[in-house]
Amino acid sequence: MLYSRFFLIICFLAIGCTSRTDTSLDFVLDTDDFDSISYYDLKAQKKEYSLQQRNEFATKAFIKVRHKTVDLRFGRLLYQKNYLHLLLGEYDSLLHYDKLINNNNLLDDPHILAMHQYLMGYYFETIVQQPDSAFNHYTKSQFYYQQASDSSGVAKALLNMGGIQKEQNDFFGSKETLTEALKFTIKNKDQQTYFSILDRLAQDHRKLKNLQEAAALYQIILKESPLQDLAAYQNNLATIYIDQKKFTDAITLLEVISGDDLQHSNTLTARVLDNLAYAKWSMGTSVPPENFLLALEIRKDINDLKGVLASYTHLGEFYMERQPNRAMVYFDSVIDISRKLNIPRAEQEALKFKMQLAPQNITYKNRYITLQDSLSASELKVKTQFAKYKYDDKLKQESILRLEKEKATKELEASRERTAKWAFFIGVLGLFILLVLGYYLYKQRVRRLRTQNRADRVEASYKTEAVLSQRLHDDFGAGLHHVMLLVQSKSEPEKILNELDKLYQQSRDFSREINAVDTGVNYKEALYTMLDQIKPENTRLLISGSKEITWQVLSNVTKITLYKVLRELFINMAKHSQATIVTLNFKKNSEGIEIRYSDNGVGVSQNEKIIKNGLLNTEKRIEAIGGNDYF
């Protein structure tokens, strides 16, 4: 299998660092904290220095920034120190700063927190081999990567979580986790992570005896994987062929790898040699023990204890028939190493072979049963614990999402309230402006109407005076001149007296027209009397609806105007219409009093009415009191 966790940690550090040329001088740095922090930070990243020197540089930079937690470099420098502590094996310092971070909430950058939790996950998985603690840290790392919207980081964390579940024999849980990891990978961007996930999924299928699905996944991997990883994946596919008893296919594939000119790692070389020897032996081909021993020696040289465990198991199987006692020795070695590495499944497999060699040995059977019970209980506990970690993480994410939703809802409600308040304010302000504008326009209109009414009344008055003056000149003046001629000609006194009597009657008529109108309780009678006096003797006057009118409520101005308007209408009728019947209809409505006048006279054209007729003065009077006239 392909393991790349340590490589991933190095990549994460590189993400948090930037490259720049070292042009600063030590004696200048103390004058500016910002420059000195950057200077030591840069030196701590340079790989040409030893790890110890880099750690010293990182410590100097961190000391200058440790009280400036708001500084954007604080979190990255703290992570860099922890990373160097891990590489130097200074685990106490690593745990000290981890405790400091967890207890004091020093960091609020989700990406830095994700990287730190990933680092601690690697420490607990690889250094102290505490898979439950490692899984917990990887779970936290996944959570923070999601907070930072880093899908690649999420996929890497889930990849390691799935690997731990597989190592703890939680193959179904591992499949579920790795399948989730695939959702966060972009094949072209996260190639190594993508193919590592498929590789581990294939291994889960192998452990679950889904060999066909495992082989199909490796066929996908081999078509697209980078060249440098191809041999490792081919070796893993060969192990599937061995499980399927397709030894020829396995041998062909392994011989291609072993004959490749590419330089493989010692770990991969030992795996290929061991699997090739085992495939040939399983097929019945005569294989010298040196083929197995060569792989074992390589593994011992590089201290690959898991590889040594696999070699001892294969050697034990190899010697079971030809040298049972030697096989027992190898299986005992498997048991010793499995206990050292805490891999009880390997011990159980060795016990299974030992029971075949010594079926009467009750000790092996009892130990096998005890181990099986312990494994079942342990695996159930591990599965439950892993599920709890994931469930707690899910609850945490749901809680954060719920809080974010509540916050967004409150902000939306607050925004709506602000909008409503502004809308209400603007509406009230707009209404106020409209009211002020309407009041202003109303006052202007009233002032304009008052001015116009005054002008109309004055104009009507002037026209009335002009008419009366004209009548006084034409009628009364002419009569007076005629009397003077009679006196000069010494006409008969009786004739002179008759003319004087006529002049007297004319003067009384003028007086009635000029004098004030009676607007009191006798207004109606005075109005009717005036109308009856003006109409010709042969004209019949018909009046209807006057009883419906409450004359007392009318203003004096309205009464006077009505009086004079009707008088001018009747004078005009008497002079021009030649009517024999005149009707007046009074009607009260919601707006005031409606008066309809009609006669059976000769009438008048519209143009003549406007240009010549005295009714123009009548219209002015009606408009002056806010009325309307229609002819």
Sequence-ordered list of residues with C-beta below 8 angstroms from that of 479, at least 6 positions apart, any chain: 499, 502, 503, 506
How far is residue 251's CA from residue 278's CA, in Å, rounded to a whole number?
Answer: 9
Q: Which residue has the higher pLDDT, 630 or 217?
A: 217
Q: Distance (Å, rounded) from C-alpha 340 to C-alpha 336?
A: 6
DSSP state, 577?
Answer: I
612: pLDDT confidence band, cut at 50, 70 and 90?
Answer: very low
Burial (CB < 10 A; 0-12, 13-18, 19+), residue 392, is middle
Report the share of the chain in percent with pLDDT over 90.
35
DSSP for 49-62, please give it: S-HHHHHHHHHHHH
Determine the pLDDT at residue 459: 62
pLDDT digits (tens, 9 = 90+) for 87-98: 999 999 999 888
What is the CB-side half-sphere exposure of residue 537 using CA atoms within 13 A? 0
CA distance 62 to 81: 8
Average pLDDT score over residue span 18-31: 34
Q: Residues in the chain, how many?
A: 631
> Does residue 10 have a pLDDT over 50?
no
| Longest Cα separation, the chain | 190
Collect all residues with Cβ–Cβ distance below 8 Å to 44 and sequence separation of at least 6.
Answer: 54, 55, 57, 58, 61, 80, 84
Domain ranges across the chain:
1-108, 519-624
Residue 4: band (very low, low, confident or very high) from pLDDT cuts 50, 70, 90 = very low
Note the pLDDT tens digit of each residue in 300-347.
999 999 999 999 999 999 999 999 999 999 999 999 999 998 888 899
Spatial separation of the C-alpha atoms in residues 411 and 404, rounded to whole Å:
10
Residue 378: its pLDDT value, please? 67
Q: Are 270 and 245 in contact (CB under 8 A)?
A: no
Name, of 211-225, 262-276, 545-559, the range with top average pLDDT. Answer: 211-225
**In this predicted model, what pLDDT tens digit does every residue of 447-472 receive, in sequence order?**
877 776 666 665 666 566 666 666 66
Of 5 and 490, the one with more pLDDT = 490
- pLDDT value for 512: 61
CB of 510 within 8 A of CB of 472?
yes
According to the model, what pLDDT value does residue 106 have? Answer: 64
What average pLDDT does the chain have? 81
Antiparallel, parallel or unpaired: β 592-599 and 581-589: antiparallel
Report which of residues 2 and 93 the model is more confident about.
93
Cβ-count burial of 590 within 10 angstroms (0-12 exposed, 13-18 middle, 19+ buried)?
Answer: exposed
Lowest-confidence pick of 107-111, 299-303, 555-559, 625-629: 625-629
User: HSE of 362 in the Cβ direction (CA atoms, 13 Å)?
Assistant: 0
- The pLDDT assigned to 203 comes to 95
Per-residue pLDDT, averaged over 542-563, amounts to: 83
For residue range 368-418, list pLDDT tens digits in order.
898 888 777 766 666 676 666 666 666 666 666 666 677 777 777 878 888
The reported pLDDT for the residue numbered 287 is 93
Q: Which is it for strands 540-544 and 581-589: parallel, antiparallel or unpaired? A: parallel
| The CATH number of the domain covering residues in 519-624 | 3.30.565.10
CA distances from residue 370 to 346, 374, 384 in whole angstroms, order as listed: 14, 6, 21
